[in-house]
Amino acid sequence: MAQMNIDGECDSRFARVREAFAENFAKRGDVGAAVAVTIDGRPVIDLWGGHADKDRTRPWTRDTIVNVYSATKGVAATCLNRLADQGRVDLDAPVARYWPEFAQAGKERLLVRWLLSHRAGLPAVRKELPSDALLRWDLMTAALAEQEPWWAPNTKHGYHALTFGYLVGEVIRRVTGKAPAHIAARKSRGRSESISISGLTRATTRAAPR
């Protein structure tokens, strides 16, 4: 295999990261990827390489846009934990305290912290939903409120790949009155900022996050 060209910048202290990134192409069959790290607000790693398509016809560039997948789970969890820090949410309280409809199907004692730890027993909805269900917040949260847990809450762990955002986000929405699928407020470097929880904002539709 030809030597993969890795573009971007990497602080010399993190040379091993650049090496590991290159190894993903040389040894693990990676097609295209990027990695970026900031420390105390300063970029120390910003690398990209490979191709943006499986046929390897489009080079991966600095501004290649990619799916973020579960990266937003951490944002949602951070927002909920900030509400807990502010005393607006009790992680040991039942979810139904903030989201009354959630008490259906034996979930009246299911705790908020179990949503965060993927122990709620709600990784999916059993009933058939429309093909666009994942794009309809109210439909998904109503379906999850009706859903009986797949296992007794807090007895097992199961990754809530497609439901985590709705479960945690609806608690945030009920407490703040804001739609967490769009905007979450945070304090950063002494000023209030807005960050996107899901999807691309108008400011990021032309460039990939980095």
Catalytic positions, written as ranges = 70
CA 49 from chain center: how many Å? 24
> Residue 18 — φ and ψ, nearest 5°?
-60, -40
Within 89-203, strands assigned E span 183-188, 191-196
> Residue 63 — φ and ψ, nearest 5°?
-105, 20
> Residue 103 — φ and ψ, nearest 5°?
-70, -5
Of 160, 165, 167, 207, residue with least CA distance to 182:
165
Buried b (16+ CB within 10 A) or exposed e, 105-128: eebeebbbbbbbebbbbbbebeee
Q: Packing angle between helix 164-176 and helix 71-85, nearest 10 degrees?
A: 30
> 180, 197 in Cβ contact below 8 A?
yes
